[in-house]
Amino acid sequence: MTNHVIEVKDVDLNYIIRHGRASTIKEAAISAIKRINLDITVNALKGINFTVDRGEVLAIIGHNGAGKSTLLKILSRVLPPTNGVVKVNGTVAPMLELGAGFNPELSGEDNILLFGVLLGNSTKSMKSKVTEIAEWAGLTEHIHLPLRTYSSGMMARLAFAVATFQKSDVLIVDEILGVGDAEFQIKSKAKMLDLISHGEATILVSHDLSTVEDLATKVLWLDHGHQKMLGPTQEVLDAYRKA
């Protein structure tokens, strides 16, 4: 048994990209006969190794396309690693993309219900939380209206409230510190910090290096899918800034 909250060992992830032509049965048949492979394999992640222990906050940094979001998806169990092993001890609350899975035809209330249940809660426990979530997001008056009538700010507030209402052991956060107007940004950031301080471990992706400096206990620097550096926050950030 391992004592790590998260353990990632030799993880690779390959995406398969097919050019428009290859995505029809006809083209697939022709390319099979001609013995050419139209699929292009892209190594989005190569040889990733790290562990996260109790109380640690790991920040993942790197340029666009470095594989940060892909790594979060693997940790959230959405993508299976091509090679290697991922182990997570404890419950995981993935906050990958706010509002994913929302249905514009349903009311705010029904969306809260559906999303909460999608994350594995029971309908009953969600029903008792709907009012609380709506109130926190400041949407009590609109909660029975269909989502398509919401402004984008209201949508963001609802999405944030739904994503953060439950406590879990491991938090996986993709750049969602602070959404909505100025007032709600302060509120949501405070909520986020509260969740991080109460969780067992946190993994966060951020382009805002000062946030990383404030929150992270260690940093993983990804470069084109490779693990460029892993270490204490200050050390990695210094090297990253120089590069």
Partner 1 sequence: MISNYDSSARTNYFSELTTYLWKQRDLIKLLVKRDISVRYKRSVLGLLWTMLNPLLTSLVLWFVFVAIFKPKLADGTQFAPYVLAGVLLMTFFNQGFLAAAESISGGVGILQKVYVKPQVFAVASSFSSAINFILGLLALVLVTFLVGDGISYLAPLTVLVILCMLGLTIGLALMTSILFIRFDDSKNIVAIALQLLYYLTPIFYPKDILSEKVRLIVSLNPLSSYLDIFRFVFANTGRATAFDWIYMISSSIIVLIIGLAVFKRSWAKSVVMM
Binding segment toward partner 1, per CB under 8 A, in 105-113, 136-144, 214-222, 228-236: 105-113
23 sits near partner 1 (criterion: CB under 8 A): yes
Whether the Cβ atoms of residue 194 and residue 37 lie closer than 8 Å to each other: no
- Per CB under 8 A, the segment of 106-114, 177-185, 220-228, 234-242 that binds partner 1 is 106-114
Minimum CB separation of residue 81 from partner 1 in Å reads 6
d(C-alpha 198, C-alpha 127), whole Å: 24
Q: Which of 57, 59, 96, 143 binds partner 1 (CB under 8 A)?
A: 96
By CB under 8 A, residue 199 contacts partner 1: no
Burial-class residue 241 by CB neighbours within 10 Å (0-12, 13-18, 19+): exposed
Give the list of residues 6+ apart from residue 26 with CB closer than 8 angstroms, or none.
none
Chain residues 136-165 in contact with partner 1, contact rule CB under 8 A: none
C-alpha distance from residue 193 to each of 8, 26, 45, 83, 170 (Å): 25, 53, 29, 33, 14
86 contacts 74 by C-beta, under 8 angstroms: yes
Q: What is the DSSP letter of 141?
A: G
List 48's β-bridge partners, or say none. Answer: 11
Tokens 């994503």 sit on residue: 163
122 binds partner 1 (CB under 8 A): yes
Closest separation between CB of residue 221 and partner 1, Å?
23
**Looking up tokens 């190569």, which residue turns up?**
46
Q: Which residues pair with 51 in a beta bridge?
A: 7
Binding residue (CB under 8 A) for partner 1 from 19, 63, 65, 103: 103
**Per-residue contact flags (x/-) with partner 1 for residues 66 to 85, judged by CB under 8 A:** -------x--xxxxxxx-xx
Q: Tell me which of 52, 112, 119, 215 binds partner 1, using CB under 8 A.
A: 119
Contact status: 112 vs partner 1 (CB under 8 A): no
CA angle 178, 205, 165 (to 5 degrees): 50
Contact between 177 and partner 1 per CB under 8 A:
no
| Site for partner 1 contains 57 (CB under 8 A) | no
- CB neighbours of residue 16 within 10 Å: 10
Give the interface segment with partner 1, choosing from 104-112, 147-155, 193-201, 218-226 (CB under 8 A): 104-112
| 3 forms part of the interface with partner 1 (CB under 8 A) | no
Cα–Cα distance, 4 to 200 (Å, whole number): 11
Site for partner 1, rule CB under 8 A: 13-18, 23-26, 28, 73, 76-82, 84-94, 96-97, 100-101, 103, 105-106, 110, 113-114, 117-123, 166, 168-169
